[in-house]
């Protein structure tokens, strides 16, 4: 074992994290030009491990986007808490395949514990099954597969055996502003857009209950806890009642928004979410663990297991919980290690505190930008802020200059017929000072 190599790698990681708050958020043009050094022909001969690591740091580190530094507000992106980076480094050294107890008793036990903790923290039904996946996209896919399997089973149709050819149709009821990963996952599963009823939304992107279609027991209803731009929540309590009366399946797309359940101040937003059959959540956003980490929750463990069923003579299941029975893959890293570390370190109160702090930052930012003459286009209910200047041209110009300025980074979107700058505050590392620097950067960019 090359101890000095691993020491050096740890040192480089520590130095990177020590400087990330001070550097530009977006990389410099010189750093981006430097990436050309990676464009080599396929190596015929090998290179020493030290040189490999050195090149990665010299060329790669400066070309990273400083998403962990506290002033990255693009998409919806968390920053990795130091304790989760540390735990993940150890998990990488362990290199456990987390899918079976017999392959990794420790990973399996940490998954089992985190399953219980996550269900408790999010206020979901005791005993729900949790599958540890790469992302909310994969969590949605997995949950839709479970819903499809169960709705068809109730219609005496075994989708594993018979596929979708000639199957009774499943109707999908979804917001007309559902996250883009929803139609994609539905498409993978043969539930195309023509079979989706798109529910109109109000000005905040919430499904309109007055425009909600009739449901039946062959319907999958997908609601959003946390609209990707406005941060709004569908009226889940009312929808849940209709779903229950119809015998339909309710899924909550809650990548970041479901974490509001951890906070007494914001819990009201997720009211009704606990009545669903399945949920998709990210850990790499609000829980601030390293990429890539999300989880699917399913009320009925046997349904998820049936939908993900895989059998081969060489697979040795345990008498208890095996993670592979709850996800679509047969090899994966021990994602639960970092999740366990985050929850153990923060506790329920620490997680709630991150949610509350980032939401307070969002309000401060919205007020500061309004005072600076910008318009805030959404009702800032959580951690998302949509900002516009007088014209689309001004808005996009400000966004470009903010991105180029390097103080912070925000993306753009369209809201109604207007261009908007999209700010998402999800990182444990963001401070009040970061917000004030961001307001100044917007002012200067005008
Ligand atoms: C981020 C996000 C997703 C997709 O999650 P990934 O982890 O990026 O796959 C889905 N829905 C919402 C609301 C999100 O914010």
pLDDT in tens, 211-267: 999 999 999 999 999 999 999 999 999 999 999 999 999 999 999 999 999 999 999
Gap from CA of 116 to ligand 1 centroid (Å): 23
- pLDDT-derived band at 282, boundaries 50, 70, 90: very high
Q: Would the pTM count as exceeding 0.95?
A: yes
Ligand 1 atom closest to Cα of 135?
A: 7
- CB of 181 within 6 A of ligand 1: the answer is yes
Residues 6+ away with beta carbon under 8 Å from 159: 148, 149, 152, 153, 167
Dist CA 108 CA 121 (whole Å): 20
CA angle 63-69-75, nearest 5°?
80
In this structure, are strands 418-424 and 384-388 parallel, antiparallel, or unpaired?
Answer: antiparallel
Q: Token digits for 169? A: 């149709």
Contact 259, 272 (CB under 8 A): no
Residue 262 · residue 121 · CB < 8 Å: yes
H helices within 26-132, ranges in order? Answer: 29-34, 49-55, 82-94, 105-121
Q: Would the CB of 228 count as within 6 Å of ligand 1?
A: yes
Q: Which helix (H) or strand (E) holds 221?
A: strand 219-224
Question: For 372-384, what is the mean pLDDT?
Answer: 98
Q: Is residue 423 in contact with ligand 1, taking CB distance under 6 Å?
A: no
Sort 109 into a burial class: Cβ within 10 Å, 0-12 / 13-18 / 19+: middle
Q: Is the pLDDT of residue 1 over 90?
A: no
Q: What is the pLDDT of residue 312?
A: 92
Count CB atoms within 10 A of the CB of residue 18. 9
pLDDT at 367: 98
Which residue's alpha carbon is at the smallest distance from atom 13 of ligand 1? 228
- C-alpha neighbours within 13 Å on the C-beta side of residue 78: 28
Distance 140 CA to ligand 1 centre (A): 9
pLDDT of residue 199: 98
Q: How far is CA 139 from CA 159, 271, 294, in A?
A: 20, 21, 7
Mean pLDDT of 131-160: 98
CA distances from 109 to 118, 323, 342, 446 (A): 14, 10, 16, 53
Q: Is the CB of 226 under 6 A from ligand 1?
A: yes
Calpha distance 178→172 (Å, rounded): 12
Give the model confidence (pLDDT) of 182-192 as tens digits.
999 999 999 99
Using a 10 angstrom Cβ sphere, with 0-12 exposed, 13-18 middle and 19 or more buried, the burial of residue 393 is exposed
389 Cβ neighbours under 8 A, 6+ residues apart: 373, 374, 375, 395, 397, 398, 446
| Structure confidence at residue 385 (pLDDT) | 98
Average pLDDT score over residue span 149-169 = 97
Strand order across the beta sheet in which 171-175 lies: 129-133, 294-298, 278-282, 249-253, 219-224, 171-175, 196-199
Report d(CA 228, CA 77) in Å as an integer. Answer: 11
Main-chain phi, psi angles of 284, to 5 degrees: -80, 5
- What does the DSSP 8-state code read for residue 440? H
pLDDT in the model for residue 181: 98
Q: Is 67 helix (H, G, I), strand (E, B) or coil?
A: coil
Ligand 1 atom with minimal separation from the 256 CA: 15
CA of 180 to the centre of ligand 1 (A): 9
* 282 in contact with ligand 1, CB cutoff 6 A: yes
pLDDT of res. 413? 98
User: Which backbone phi and psi does 166 adopt, to 5 degrees?
Assistant: 80, 5
pLDDT given at position 69 = 95
Ligand 1 geometric centre to CA of 227 (Å): 10
Write the burial class of residue 65 (CB in 10 Å: 0-12 exposed, 13-18 middle, 19+ buried): middle
Which tens digit of pLDDT belongs to each residue from 299-357?
999 999 999 999 899 999 999 999 999 999 999 999 999 999 999 999 999 999 999 99
Instruction: For residue 155, give both structure tokens.
Output: 């219609």
Residue 311: the pLDDT is 85
80-130: pLDDT as tens digits: 999 999 999 999 999 999 999 999 999 999 999 999 999 999 999 999 999
Residue 163 gets which letter from DSSP?
-
SS (H, E, C) 277-293: CEEEEECCCCCCCCCCC
Q: Closest Cα to atom 14, ligand 1: which residue?
A: 255
d(CA 253, CA 351): 20
Average pLDDT, the chain: 97
Q: Which residues contact 16 (CB under 8 A, 6 or more apart)?
A: 57, 61, 64
How close is the Cα of 157 to the center of ligand 1, in Å?
A: 31
| Pocket test residue of 67, 73, 74, 76 for ligand 1, highest count of atoms within 8 A of CB | 76
| Helical ranges in 234-325 per DSSP H | 236-246, 301-307
**Ligand 1 centroid vs 367 CA: distance in angstroms?**
27
> Is the CB of 253 within 6 Å of ligand 1?
yes
Integer Cα distance of 220 and 213 in angstroms: 12
DSSP string, 19-36: HTTTS-SSPPHHHHHHGG
How far away, in angstroms, is 139 Cα from ligand 1 center?
10
What ligand 1 atom has the least distance to the C-alpha of 254? 13
Nearest CA to ligand 1 atom 9: 137
């Amino acid at each position: 074992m090359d101890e000095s190599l691993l020491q050096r790698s740890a040192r480089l990681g520590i130095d990177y994290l020590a400087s990330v708050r001070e550097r530009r958020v977006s990389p410099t043009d010189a750093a981006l030009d430097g990436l050309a050094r990676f464009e080599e022909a396929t190596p015929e001969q090998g290179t020493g491990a030290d040189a490999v690591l050195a090149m990665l740091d010299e060329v790669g580190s400066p070309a990273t986007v400083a998403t962990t530094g506290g002033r990255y507000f693009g998409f919806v992106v968390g920053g990795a808490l130091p304790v989760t980076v540390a735990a993940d480094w150890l998990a990488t050294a362990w290199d456990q395949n987390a899918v079976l107890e017999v392959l990794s008793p420790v990973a399996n036990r940490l998954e089992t514990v985190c399953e219980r903790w996550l269900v408790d923290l999010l206020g979901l039904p005791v005993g729900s099954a949790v599958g540890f996946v790469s992302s909310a996209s994969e969590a949605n896919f997995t949950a839709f597969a479970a819903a499809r399997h169960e709705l068809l089973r109730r219609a005496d149709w075994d989708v594993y055996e018979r596929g979708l050819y000639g199957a009774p149709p499943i109707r999908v009821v979804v917001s007309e502003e559902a996250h883009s990963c929803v139609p994609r996952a539905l498409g993978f599963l043969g539930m195309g857009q023509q079979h989706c009823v798109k529910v109109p939304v109000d000005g905040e992107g919430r499904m309109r209950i007055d425009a909600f279609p009739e449901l039946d027991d062959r319907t999958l209803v997908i609601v959003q806890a946390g609209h990707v731009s406005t941060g709004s929540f569908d009226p889940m309590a009312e929808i849940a009642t209709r779903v229950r009366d119809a015998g339909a399946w309710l899924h909550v797309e809650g990548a970041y928004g479901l974490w509001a359940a951890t906070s007494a101040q914001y819990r009201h937003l997720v009211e009704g979410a606990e009545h669903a059959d399945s949920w998709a959540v990210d850990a790499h956003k609000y829980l601030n663990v390293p990429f890539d980490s999300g989880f699917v929750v399913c009320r009925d463990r046997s349904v998820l297991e049936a939908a993900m069923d895989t059998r081969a003579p060489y697979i040795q299941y345990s008498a208890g919980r095996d993670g592979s029975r709850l996800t679509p893959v047969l090899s994966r890293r021990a994602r639960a290690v970092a999740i366990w570390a985050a929850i153990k370190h923060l506790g329920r109160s620490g997680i709630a505190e991150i949610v509350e702090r980032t939401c307070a930052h969002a309000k401060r930012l919205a007020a500061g930008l309004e005072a600076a003459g910008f318009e805030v286009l959404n009702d800032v209910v959580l951690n998302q802020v949509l900002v516009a200047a007088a014209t689309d041209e001004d808005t996009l110009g400000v966004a470009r200059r903010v991105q180029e300025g390097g103080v912070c980074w925000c993306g753009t979107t369209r809201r109604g017929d207007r261009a908007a700058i999209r700010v998402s505050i999800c990182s444990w590392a963001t401070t009040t000072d970061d917000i004030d620097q961001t307001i100044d950067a917007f002012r200067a960019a005008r």
